[in-house]
Structure 1
Amino acid sequence: MVHQVTSGIKISVETTFEGTFYKNYKVQYAFGYRVTIENQSKDSVQLNTRYWKIYDALNNTEVVEGEGVIGKKPVLKPGESHTYNSGCLLTSPFGAMHGYYQMVNFSTTQKFKVMIPCFKLSAPFAIN
């Protein structure tokens, strides 16, 4: 598990390898990840948008951005946390992801970025 704290918001990420399958005659490697967003600050905040960069070992990069996470824009009071599960497909058994959440502080109405730490995606069978 990896962790990072930005402006009092702690991001923790755990990953899992979900398996392989064929899509459009190509092998795809499926990975899951569980993200916990914990508000360690003194102010209430809301997650508005997400931005991800996904890399694989074949030098492919995918950018994913959009509103909220899994269809939600969670509001976190001090001490609260929000956990969600998601996943991605890679064309190789190794890769990595990182990014940020755009959030707003309700006390100051200021928008700020919360960094998502870089985490590795690796299929256990491919590790020596």
Structure 2
Amino acid sequence: MPTTTTQGVTVTVTTNYLPDYSSPAQEHFVFAYRIDIRNDSEFTIKLLRRHWYISDVGAGLREVEGEGVVGRQPVLEPGEAHQYVSGCNLKSGLGKMRGTYLMERLASGEHFQVNIPEFTLIVPFRMN
């Protein structure tokens, strides 16, 4: 599981290929990913925005940016964690994602970025 820590905030990623939602004949491969965010800093933080870079061997690079994650802007006290599941579709069945979260330290209003580790999205039959 790819994991990275930035300024006391740890992000871990787990991925799954979803064959029931995919259609290889139409070059449509769907993946789910679970993100675990743990606040091991001494500050209460709020996740404001996300910024993703999605690389697809069959379609190049695309960016996705927006507020929060899956419609939420979670607040994490020191020692707390937040998990969410989202998804991504690829044309090739082979790609990778990486990105950042924009966080705010609530006591000071200071903004900072947290890295999301790069992770691969690979259809199982491509691994052989």
If the length of structure 1 is used for normalisation, what is the TM-score? 0.94
1:85 maps to 2:85: yes
Provide the secondary structure at the position in 1 that maps to 2:28: strand
1:21 matched residue in structure 2? 23
Query: Greater share of strand residues, 1 or 2?
Result: 1
Tell me the alpha carbon deviations over residues 40-98 of structure 1, each in whole angstroms, 9 at most, x when there is no partner: 00010000000001011125111100000000000000000000000010000110000
- The alignment-based identity, stated in percent, is 40
2:63 is aligned to 63
Q: Is 101-110 or 88-97 further displaced after alignment? A: 101-110
How do 1:1-128 residues align onto structure 2 when only pairs under 5 Å count? 1-19=1-19, 20-21=22-23, 26-58=26-58, 60-128=60-128
RMSD, matched Cα: 1.3
Distance in 1 of aligned mates of 2:58 and 2:29: 13
Q: Distance in 1 between matches of 2:3 and 2:27?
A: 31
Unaligned runs of 5+ in 1: none
Letter in 1 for 2:94: F
Structure 2 Cα separation of the partners of residues 44 and 82 of structure 1? 13
SS state at 1:72 partner: coil
Q: Which amino acid aligns with 2:116?
A: I
Helix, strand or coil at the partner of 2:18: strand
Unaligned runs of 5+ in 2: none
Task: Return structure 1 stretches of 4+ with deviation > 6 angstroms.
Answer: none
